[in-house]
Amino acid sequence: MRWEHSIKIERLIDPVPGVAYPRLIEATGRCPPEDVGGPWGYAKFLEAINDPKHERHAKLSEWIGDHFDPNARDADALAEELTALAKRWSRKLAAKRARPA
C-alpha cells in the first residue's frame, strides 16, 4: 500500500532571490496518522472515529488522542517543512554539478 499525493503546477515564475523553491502555496486536508493501514485503513479509521456507536470508536479515539479533523491543516508548518526540503535538495543538486576543468 502506498499514498499518492497530487501536486498541481499552476504556472512557472521567475525565481525571487532568497526564496527556496519549490514552495507551498496552498494545502488541502491533513495527513492520515502513521500506521493507519494505508488508504483502506484510513477510510475505516475515519468511519469509526466519526461514529460514536462504531465498535472501534472508543479504541481509535483513545489511540489518536485529541479530536482528529481530516480537513484541518497547518499550512505554515507544511510550508516550513517544504522550505527545509527545498534547501536540502538545492545543495545536493549544486554538489552534483560538473566542475569546470
Q: What is the mean pLDDT of residues 79-94?
A: 75
DSSP 11-58: ---PPPTT--SS------S-PPPTTS-HHHHHHHHHHHHT-TTSTTHH
Smallest CA-to-CA distance from 76 within 27, 31, 34 is with 27
- Structural domains counted in the chain: 1
% of the chain beyond a pLDDT of 90:
22
pLDDT of 55 strictly over 60: yes
pLDDT of 9 strictly over 60: yes
User: Does 33 map to a domain?
Assistant: no
Task: Give the three cell numbers for residue 71.
Answer: 480537513
% of the chain beyond a pLDDT of 70:
86
User: Does 3 map to a domain?
Assistant: no
What residues make up the domain containing 88?
38-93
User: Does 23 map to a domain?
Assistant: no
User: Does 70 map to a domain?
Assistant: yes
Average pLDDT of the chain, as a whole number: 81
**pLDDT for res 82:** 82
